[in-house]
Amino acid sequence: MSQLVHRHLDCGVEFAAAVLPGRPTAALEIRILAGSAHEPADKLGLARLIEETVDKGTARRDGRALLDAFDAIGAQRTSGTGRDLTGFSCLVLPEFLLPAIDLHAEMIRTPTFPEEACRVAVELAIQELSSLEDDPQALAGKLITRQAYGRYLGRHPLGERETLATITRADIETHWRATFSAGRMLLCVAGNVDPAAVADHVERAFEGFGSSGSSGREPMPLEFMPARRHVHKELEQEQIGICFPGVPVSSDEHPVERVMLGVLSGGMSGRLFTEVREKQGLVYWVQAWHEHPRGSGMIHLGASTTPERCDRTFETLLREVDRLAEDLTEAEVQRAIAAIVARTETRGDITRAHAAELVADLVHHGRPIPMEERLARIQAVTPADVRAYLAAHPRDRLSVLTLGPRELEKGR
Amino acid sequence: MSSPFVDERLDNGLRVVVEVMPDVRSAACGFLVRTGSRDEEPELAGVSHFLEHMCFKGTYRRSWREINIEFDEMGSTYNAFTAKDRTFYYGWVRAGDIERQMELLADMMRSAIPPNEFDMEKNVILEEIAMSSDQIENLAYHLLHETCYRGEPMAWPVLGYERTIRELSRDRMHEYFTRRYAPDNMTFIAAGRVEAGRVVEAVRRLTAEWQPSGADRRDGRRAPRFHPASASRPVERFHQELVLMAFEAAPATDEQDEDAEALAAILGGDNSRFYWNIVQAGIAPRATVLREDHQDCGLLVLYGLCEADRIERLADAMRREAEEVTREGVRPQELQRVKNKRRTSLAAEAEAPYYRLVQIMEDVDYYGRPMTIEERLARVDRVTVDSIAAYLRRFPITGPGVLIGVGPRAWPPAESP
């Protein structure tokens, strides 16, 4: 089991570490509590443009030199922009963790946003939007998100063609100043680290970076509206998306919802795979999952099938959700719990997974959750809890999206 | 990081390879069956992949339902995949569940191919083919293989064709299964917190009744001929155009395999020439270099995706980069950067039994033996600026290759070289 450390640093950064002796890698996770939901309505796409341009030059060096510096320590980097978060992830050998933190500080604190890099980022975002049109599953995801999550959380990180076209370098810099600060930053590390030394290093690296206050950290509202829409597109398969509100990660009911989704779609023995694919052969892909902006939650069901089978697939998906309340068994609940526990423990061998879990804990719970506590909450779930959850959250308001050659039959 | 391997061949011909990783808490294992779409007769195209699905559909001791439940009871991270030249079934579990995982996978390898599930699963395969046909990248790769390996078993897609799947009978599949899923054509691999001796004994016990078939996969395989050509598939509904430029490259077993890897990273990886000179020049949102390597053949594929009206500009830019790296060579700093990143990824591999499992499976299948992390690192360290230049002389990326375009335009035009 790992030792967990959690500190609110004077500079404003919220810091946590998972100490894992003997690990051959060290992982770094940074989250800025700002995403597409925080953009001005006429400048959609800005948050992601910051993420795309922040590494194109700093006060100290140009973009190539910065990426060369990351490569010099063998850093494996990824970054991403979400609804309410911007994330930077990095994996290095343990001896390079502090230099990796320094390079991230340089990048996040002192970007120069070169004019040309900003222009190219806007142009590439417009091209990415058109490439999204060629990816049916991603496009269906974008459409149902817009329809179900409301004005702020329903935005797509890429933005819109019209808003992107108006975005300038000055807009990017202004929005960076407004949203990137130590007070809106979470930084987590995992591996064979000395947590006190890393915390001191982070303190120095981000001292004086914008406001250290927590303003802007409040969750954005999820504005769910039931809806049903078909978008016509000439495809081989119909994409079916259904969603309805769930609970936030911070809710006491969250472990119950996880177990419920485990019964529905936790593996090949889950009800959706069994009923939709194994028994009827309707699909190759079918799944249920939940997504969590801070402070809210949404349940998703998804499947893709050839047009003549889409009505039956749609009906089966909803019937399986309803049937949970009717004939849930103890064995299914126990299996879902066992699977969640075992997969959590198995993933524990991966250092990166510890850092990712830690930063998600800070985002949603405001503190690290020890693995024992996380698993105990899952293991405490009973069939009665799942039934109570289903009664308290009936799927009576749905957002439905189909994308493809054929609309669902009316009345379904 | 180092861990010695146990590598044994059982009396029935099954090979067992185990890597003990004392510092982890989990373990992964799998069966490698040395069979894939390149081993199929043309009218059976797709049988290997369909058979992979059927191995989850029931044995003489378990129904599909019991198989699925048992995987999930262990909380296994499990799946299988089929490629041109192999099929692999795996599960990753807590160390204490490894023998149960082994028993389940071993049972699945003696599939009953239940006749009453065959037609139902055929529908699933047809849905998978339909799903694949909606993806521009899959269409482009199919066209690439059909063009460069035309007339050879390497040409057809792993999923097969709608026609061959519809016409496939359970009897033909069963005959293929009996021939290919024999212990002398399979390897069992385990990595993680295991006791090697116990693993070997358990495999011996679980497979005691298995009979060798004498089918060595290499009997029927020959290196495919590479045909330089160009081909396009206009699809009106796509918004963007995908271009692939493929060149004959080092097979996985070639001494210069790591040179090819480094070249691909320098040309088309993160912080690469393609990234700065094509993506960051605003020409295309995606431009990269991919390798496809098999035991006896390989491709280096320059990959780009862009707005349809920019395709000529993108293709020119990709060619220009290929010419420049051939003419000027790579810079020592570029090579060092790639090596540094490789060191991190090998360290990450060393802590995760599942990643090790997949790597050992590849090494055993292609090189004939597992390699330690240190050994692989040493191979990476041997790459030099000069060795990459020598590689490019052996496997040029400026001469005739295969040029593929899929998207709204009929590009490249038929007369393109």
Residue B328 pLDDT > 60: yes
Mean pLDDT (whole number) for B175-190: 96
Mean pLDDT (whole number) for B21-46: 96
Give contacts of B381 with chain A, Cβ < 8 Å: none
Residues 138-197 of A with CB under 8 A from B: none
Kindly state the greatest CA–CA separation across chain A: 63
Residue B217 pLDDT > 60: no
Residue A355, helix vs strand vs coil: helix
Tell me how far the alpha carbon of residue A365 is from its chain's centroid: 15
Q: In order along chain A (412 residues), what is the average pLDDT of each group of 10 residues?
A: 92 97 97 97 98 98 98 97 97 98 98 98 97 97 97 97 98 97 97 97 96 82 95 97 97 98 97 97 98 97 97 97 96 97 96 98 97 97 98 95 93 58
Say whether B239 and A120 touch across the interface (CB within 8 A).
no
Residue B232 pLDDT > 70: yes
Residue A136, helix vs strand vs coil: helix
- Architecture of the B229-407 domain: 2-Layer Sandwich (3.30)
Q: What is the pLDDT of residue A215?
A: 73
Residues 45-104 of B with CB under 8 A from A: 56, 64-65, 67-69, 71-77, 92-94, 97
Residue B41, helix vs strand vs coil: coil
Q: Is A229 in CB contact (< 8 Å) with chain B?
A: no
Residue B274 pLDDT > 50: yes
Q: How far apart are CA B281 and CA A334, in angstroms?
A: 54
| pLDDT tens per residue across span A258-297 | 999 999 999 999 999 999 999 999 999 999 999 999 999 9
Q: Write out the DSSP string of B257-308.
A: HHHHHHHHHHHHSTTSHHIIIIITTTS-SEEEEEEEE-SS-EEEEEEEEEEG
Residue B2 pLDDT > 50: no
Say whether A76 and B341 touch across the interface (CB within 8 A).
yes
The model's confidence at residue B216, banded by pLDDT at 50, 70 and 90, is: low
Mean pLDDT (whole number) for B57-81: 98
Say which CATH topology domain A227-404 has.
Cytochrome Bc1 Complex; Chain A, domain 1 (3.30.830)
Q: How far are the Cα atoms of A291, A375, B380 from residue A389, in angstroms, in the given order?
A: 17, 19, 54
Q: What is the pLDDT of residue B1?
A: 42
ipTM: 0.95
CB-CB contact of B304 with B241 (8 Å): no
Residue B373, helix vs strand vs coil: helix
Q: Which numeric CATH code is attached to B5-220?
A: 3.30.830.10
Say whether A134 and B282 touch across the interface (CB within 8 A).
no
Q: Is A231 in CB contact (< 8 Å) with chain B?
A: no
Out of 3.30.830.10, 3.40.50.300, 3.50.50.60, 1.10.3720.10, select the CATH number for domain A3-206.
Answer: 3.30.830.10
Say whether B347 and A304 touch across the interface (CB within 8 A).
no
Q: How far are the Cα atoms of B187, B253, B258 from residue B362, in angstroms, in the given order?
A: 11, 11, 14
Token readout for A244 is 């309805």
Q: What is the pLDDT of residue A213?
A: 79
Token readout for B324 is 């420049």
Same fold: B5-220 with B229-407:
yes
Looking at the complex, report in whole angstroms how far the Cα of residue B405 sits from the nearest Cα belonging to chain A: 15
Mean pLDDT (whole number) for B166-180: 97
Over the Cα atoms of chain A, what is R_g? 22
Q: What is the pLDDT of residue B399?
A: 85
B400 CB-contact burial (10 Å; exposed 0-12 / middle 13-18 / buried 19+) = middle
Say whether A342 and B75 touch across the interface (CB within 8 A).
yes
> Can you give the residue ranges of every domain in chain B?
5-220, 229-407
Q: Is A233 in CB contact (< 8 Å) with chain B?
A: yes
Looking at the complex, report in whole angstroms how far the Cα of residue B223 sits from the nearest Cα belonging to chain A: 33
> Can you give the residue ranges of every domain in chain A?
3-206, 227-404
The model's confidence at residue B214, banded by pLDDT at 50, 70 and 90, is: confident
Say whether B282 and A268 touch across the interface (CB within 8 A).
no
Residue B417 pLDDT > 50: no
Say whether A284 and B124 touch across the interface (CB within 8 A).
yes
Please name the member of B75, B128, B344 whose beta carbon is closest to the beta carbon of A338.
B75
The model's confidence at residue B280, banded by pLDDT at 50, 70 and 90, is: very high
Q: What is the pLDDT of residue A290?
A: 98
Give contacts of A341 with chain B, Cβ < 8 Å: 75
Residue B218 pLDDT > 60: no
Residues 370-389 of B with CB under 8 A from A: none
Q: How far are the Cα atoms of B44, B150, B410 from residue B176, in angstroms, in the given order?
A: 9, 23, 39
The DSSP symbol for B63 reads: B
**SS3 per residue for A239-288:** EEEEEEECCCCCCCCHHHHHHHHHHHHCCCCCHHHHHHHHCCCCCCEEEE
Same fold: A3-206 with A227-404:
yes
Q: What is the pLDDT of residue A138?
A: 97
CB-CB contact of A365 with A249 (8 Å): yes
Kindly state the greatest CA–CA separation across chain B: 62
